[in-house]
Amino acid sequence: MSDDNNNTSVSVAMVGSGGAGVMTSGNMLLEAATKAGLYGLMTRTVGPQIRGGEAAALVRLSAKPVHCVDDHFDILVAVDWKGAERFAAEVPLGPQSLIITDPETGEVPEILAASGARIVEVPIGELANAVDGGRPNMVILGLVASLIGLPEEPINKIIAKKLGKKGDAAVLASRQAVSAGYKATAGLTSPVTVSDAVGDGTGRWLISGNQAAGFGALRGGIRFVAAYPITPATEVLEWMSPNLPKMGGTLVQAEDELASINMAIGASFGGRPSLTATSGPGLSLMMEGIGLAVSSETPVVIVNVMRGGPSTGVPTKSEQTDLNIAVYGLHGDAPHVVTAATSVEDCIFTAQWSVHLAEAMQTAVIVLSDQFMGQASTIIDPPANISFIAQRLVEEAPTEDYRRYAVTADGVSPMTLPGTPGGQYTADGLEHNPKGLPSTLMEDHRDQMDKRDRKVAEFNYGDHWADVEGDADSELVVLTWGSTTNAVREGIERLRAEGVSCKLVAMRLLSPALPDYFDQAVKGAKRILVVEQSHSGQFLKLLRANYDMPGEIKSFRRPGPLIIRPGEIVDTIKDWRDQ
């Protein structure tokens, strides 16, 4: 619950060690809330254990679309407290919060109790045991749903949908356990309930960022995917695997990331728009291959779902720290494109747009998402059916003087595809002349670098380079990118509701730099706040290297896994203003 918008949203943390089923409870709560006409966002925090570690489903519900996690949690309910202290910092509570605990599972961890939250004991395990086949995670689902004012009927529908295949007994057990949860809240008051819900959610989508990226890519024309599993990107690949064949495409599970990027390049050389998805360590391995795509002018899309780094880092938690490697990681002068989704929903648009960019410019496009967006589930209105479809400049009837790497005005050269008579050429990572033959001549190197740079630098990216919102003439501009955008956006909305003038510039195109667009967006700024989830300020440095930023600059940044919250943006700006 935000202090500024009373009762417009409710935030719930469902806690329990892995296997307790709190993710199932969270998902069901989200779906049931949708059926009740609400919007919502569910994120997850888990430990590194494959099974059995600490876990929490974090759900925020509102009558309006929800894009970020709130400053505090209103309700925290625990099936057990195993390892819960390890993510206490990710679940901030306050005196207004409510903690529900089962006395059988021991004391509420001191670090949580210290928040001053009201603690209520409910015999969750006992209630579950009273139902034949009942489970505590269903009891807490009922508890929470009842407290926030959600009717029982949509939950029963979701239970039937999710557990129907397990048989009537399983459905009945869950329903009875949920009912027990509902009844157990008699006499309990919730710190907040949600109201103003409209309709029954018909037509709305439930989608995760990783699914959204896969869907956007498929809609954009991707027909070949090479895959190597890695947390937290695997769901992109797992979504695409069964859906690609429906469109005539396929997915190959590769032996490593070196193979996946190069398989994608081979398939694209063959004429199929191609993609791979990975996270930091995999992206590091792919760098040489991405350079090959740049040099050979073979379109390819790499979706990189960021996690804490360096090295193996914090695989299950979010961070915005692959920006440097995405922009600067290739050896040589290697012009390519780096984009970033600005929300879970925007993963659809940005992935689809990126396919379009890769194909149109015949180059590599790295799409940055992160664990927060990738593994968050959200309820959204059906997204616009945007029209970007992979369109490659293909030469279908090459004449005798056909040159694959002809130096053209816009830098893009018509490409022949295998099977086209007379269009044979050898794609190469060696520098080459316009015919594609290896060359060490200064002129060829210069001309080919010029053309590769020109096609990327002078492309018309339109308004999609950034989301520019808020007060157009504001002297205060907040610059950000990626998933952090959502907290900044909500913070700015709160400030503007208080009459503070503020402008948001959330960059979707991180490379190449477009100074003309940027200058226009920050024109007149006297103060610029740069927000990012990075210890070293990678985004700030990228901005400083490429753009002239007017006025006073302030950096608000910290590494993962703690996400940046809207209230922090509000406080930072207010403090700065008052200085």
Partner 1 sequence: MNELAPKKLKASDYKSNLKPVWCPGCGDYHVLLSVTQAFAKLKLEPENIAVISGIGCSSRIPAYTNTYGFHSIHGRGLTVATGVKVARPELTVVAAGGDGDGFSIGGNHFLHACRRNTDMTYIVMDNEVYGMTKGQPSPTTDPEWDSALSPGGTGLSPFHPLVIALASGANFIARTFSGDVKGTASIIADAIVHPGFSFVQILSPCVTFRPDQKVWKEQVHKAVVNETDDPARAARRLMSDDGFNTGVLYRGHREPYRFSCGEEKGDIMEIQKQFEV
Q: How far apart are CA 136 and CA 146, in angstroms?
A: 15
Q: 35 vs 336, which CB is nearer to partner 1?
A: 35
Q: Residue 246 in contact with residue 223, Cβ under 8 Å?
A: no
Pick from 125, 134, 209, 249: which binds partner 1 (CB under 8 A)? 249
SS3 state of residue 522: helix
Window contacting partner 1 (CB under 8 A); options: 82-90, 103-111, 211-219, 513-521: 211-219
Q: Does 427 interact with partner 1 (rule: CB under 8 A)? A: yes
| Binding to partner 1 in span 465-504, by CB under 8 A | none
Residue type, 133: G
Residue tagged 């409209």 (tokens)? 198
Q: How far apart are CA 415 and CA 411, in angstroms?
A: 12
Q: Does 553 interact with partner 1 (rule: CB under 8 A)? A: no
Mark 363-402 with x for binding to partner 1 (rule: CB under 8 A) and - for no binding: ----------------x--x--------------------
CA atoms within 13 A on the CB side of 38: 27
Q: Does 165 interact with partner 1 (rule: CB under 8 A)? A: no
Q: How far apart are CA 65 and CA 85, in angstroms?
A: 30
Q: How far apart are CA 372 and CA 563, in angstroms?
A: 8
Q: Residue 234 in contact with residue 211, Cβ under 8 Å?
A: no
Which tokens hold the place of 452? 């590769």
Which tokens hold the place of 235? 């769901």
- The residues, ordered by sequence, that sit 6+ positions from 521 with a Cβ below 8 Å of its Cβ are 466, 468, 477, 505
CB of 504 to partner 1, least distance (A): 27
Q: Does 142 interact with partner 1 (rule: CB under 8 A)? A: no
Q: 266 vs 537, which CB is nearer to partner 1?
A: 266
Q: What is the DSSP letter of 576?
A: H
Pick from 143, 264, 540, 564: which binds partner 1 (CB under 8 A)? 264
Pick from 296, 316, 485, 511: which binds partner 1 (CB under 8 A)? 296
Q: Does 83 interact with partner 1 (rule: CB under 8 A)? A: no
Q: Does 134 interact with partner 1 (rule: CB under 8 A)? A: no
Mark 25-64 with x for binding to partner 1 (rule: CB under 8 A) and - for no binding: ------x--xx-----------------------------
Pairing of strands 274-278, 98-101: unpaired
Q: Does 274 interact with partner 1 (rule: CB under 8 A)? A: yes
Q: How far apart are CA 145 and CA 155, in angstroms?
A: 9
Q: Does 425 interact with partner 1 (rule: CB under 8 A)? A: yes
Q: How far apart are CA 394 and CA 360, in angstroms?
A: 10
Q: Residue 231 in contact with residue 309, Cβ under 8 Å?
A: no
Q: Does 272 interact with partner 1 (rule: CB under 8 A)? A: yes
Q: Does 447 interact with partner 1 (rule: CB under 8 A)? A: no
CB of 222 to partner 1, least distance (A): 11
Q: 255 vs 578, which CB is nearer to partner 1?
A: 255
Residue tagged 């048989």 (tokens)? 167
Residues near partner 1 (CB under 8 A): 31, 34-35, 201-207, 211, 215, 218-219, 223-224, 226, 243, 246-252, 254-256, 258-260, 262-272, 274, 288-289, 291-292, 296, 379, 382, 418-430, 436-438
